[in-house]
Amino acid sequence: MQSQPVFVGVDVGASRTKVAILDENKQLLGHQVRNSGTDFSKTAELCLDASLAEANASRRDISSVISTGYGRTNVEFSQGTKTEISCHAVGCYHYFPKAITIIDIGGQDNKIIKLDEAGKRTGFKMNRKCAAGTGVFLEEMSLRLNTPIDELNDQAVLSEDMVKLGSYCTVFSGTEVLENIRHGKKLPDIVKGLFYSVINRVLEMDSLTENVVMTGGVVANNPYIVQMTEEITGRKILVTDYPQLTGAIGAAIFALKGVK
């Protein structure tokens, strides 16, 4: 059987590395997410091999590779690079081809990207100066709470009396968390308060348009944040099937466009 050409997108974030493999019809054939670790190049290679195995493809089937993200220049098998902003925009517009505001909550930074009906970027803002409102913030707070990061979502859902934190700063929030523990506040209520802080931190960055798409690892691993955002904004939030892969999928679409 003749193999089909595949197109690869690699998103090397400071926290996680993501690979997405698409066919000529932009269908997702394989994907992988791993901790980026200290060797971005090696992690990208491992993600590629795992994704190809899932796609039942080999390296000789690859037509093109585009990398993006914090460590995009570390991908030795890439034929080109694109910015995170561009890839997230293309990835989201692929699933929601209309005017949208994209909220991307990543491990180290947050982005708000606005697209018009044609998918053209009309503006963007990024928060890189402070870890508050990012995945790192939640990781730090999970340590303070002695609760695994992958259990935070289930805890937040159980909240009956959310604790509102007064500070957005990671350091000061940690102090507040300890104070709330000392005063006997329940774990679910504290965690929901942390989620609330993340959402507010992002929403203060820019205004929203009618159609809002949320992406990123924080969204993928904490779907309750999407529900809370809907309640806060009064809007229905759009989410792709693989919100953590949006940047990698966008990069793969760039790879496909470069060949065609």
For residue 97, give both structure tokens. Answer: 């081809």
Q: Is the pLDDT of residue 128 over 70?
A: no
- Check residue 98 and give left, alpha or beta (phi > 0: left; psi -120 to 50: alpha): beta
Three-state DSSP class for residue 228: helix
68 compared with 200, residue with greater pLDDT: 68
CA distance 218 to 209: 21
Question: 119, 95, 12, 121: which is closest to 20 by C-alpha?
Answer: 12
How does pLDDT run across 192-208, given as a tens digit for each residue?
999 998 898 889 889 99
Q: Where are the alpha helices (DSSP H) in 130-240?
A: 135-144, 152-157, 170-182, 187-203, 217-221, 224-233
Q: Is the pLDDT of residue 35 over 50?
A: yes
Tell me what pLDDT residue 246 has: 97
Spell out a b/e string for 107-126, using b for 16 or more CB atoms within 10 Å of the CB, else e: bebbbbbbbeeebeeeebee
Rg value, the chain, Cα: 19
pLDDT band, very low/low/confident/very high, at 130 (cuts 50, 70, 90): low
Superfamily of domain covering 98-239:
ATPase, nucleotide binding domain (3.30.420.40)
pLDDT band, very low/low/confident/very high, at 259 (cuts 50, 70, 90): low
To the nearest 10°, report the CA torsion of 89, 93, 95, 96: 130
Q: Where are the domains of the chain?
A: 6-86+245-259, 98-239
How does pLDDT run across 158-190, given as a tens digit for each residue?
999 999 887 555 555 667 887 888 888 999 999
Three-state DSSP class for residue 119: coil
Burial of residue 171 (CB within 10 Å: 0-12, 13-18, 19+) is exposed
Is the CA virtual torsion 191, 193, 196, 200 positive or negative? negative
Query: Looking up tokens 């009956």, which residue turns up?
Result: 160
98-239 matches 6-86+245-259 in CATH topology: yes
Tell me what pLDDT residue 201 has: 86
Tell me what pLDDT residue 258 has: 85
Cβ neighbours of residue 73 under 8 Å, at least 6 residues apart? 67, 81
Question: 54, 45, 28, 90: which is closest to 241 by C-alpha?
Answer: 28
The mean per-residue pLDDT over the stretch 129-134 comes to 63
The pTM of the full predicted model, rounded to 2 decimals, is 0.91
Fold of 6-86+245-259: Nucleotidyltransferase; domain 5 (3.30.420)
The mean per-residue pLDDT over the stretch 142-166 comes to 91
Measured from the Cβ of residue 157, the count of other Cβ atoms closer than 10 Å reads: 15
The mean per-residue pLDDT over the stretch 11-23 comes to 95
